[in-house]
């Protein structure tokens, strides 16, 4: 019987996503040292940590546990590391701060939107 290594799976998915341990920790609201311990197999992540890591990596917990294969084509989440970090921060903001942040981002990115796309964000 083959023993599955959750830490290796986390590391493989993190590197495939182009994330550093620090970036994964930030997206999952964890400490970088904790992520390093998970990846090294020194500590097994609990249910809450697995859920946070799965969300940060945009996979299911089943993928982290080796019960399913990742399918990156199914996700509608932001794809770049930077946009995922910004999105995670915006998601944690109170509504009034979120609106201000979105207004700033909308203004900063206006030239990159297709016609009318910036209005869809409102």
Domain edges within the chain: 6-74, 81-120
The confidence score (pLDDT) of residue 122 equals 45
Q: How confident is the model at residue 43 (pLDDT cuts 50, 70, 90)?
A: very high
* Bigger pLDDT: 2 vs 95: 95
In this model, does residue 2 exceed pLDDT 60?
Answer: no
**Under CATH, which architecture does the 6-74 domain have?**
Orthogonal Bundle (1.10)
The confidence score (pLDDT) of residue 115 equals 58
- CB < 8 Å & 24+ apart, contacts of 54-57: 55/27, 55/28, 56/19, 56/24, 56/27, 56/28, 56/84, 56/88, 57/10, 57/13, 57/14, 57/17, 57/19, 57/24
The confidence score (pLDDT) of residue 58 equals 86
Q: What is the pLDDT of residues 20-39, one digit of tens each?
A: 999 999 999 999 999 999 99
In this model, does residue 79 exceed pLDDT 70?
Answer: no
The confidence score (pLDDT) of residue 54 equals 93
The confidence score (pLDDT) of residue 73 equals 54
């Amino acid at each position: 019987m083959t023993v599955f290594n959750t830490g290796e799976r986390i590391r493989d998915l993190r590197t495939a996503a182009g994330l550093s341990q620090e970036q994964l920790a930030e997206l999952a609201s964890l400490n970088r040292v904790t992520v390093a311990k998970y990846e090294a197999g020194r500590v097994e992540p609990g249910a809450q940590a697995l859920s946070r890591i799965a969300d940060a990596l945009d996979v299911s917990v089943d993928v982290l546990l080796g019960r399913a294969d990742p399918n990156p084509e199914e996700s509608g989440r932001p794809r770049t590391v930077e946009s995922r970090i910004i999105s995670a921060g915006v998601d944690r903001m109170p509504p009034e701060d979120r609106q201000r942040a979105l207004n700033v981002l909308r203004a900063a990115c206006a030239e990159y939107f297709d016609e009318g796309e910036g209005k869809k964000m409102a």
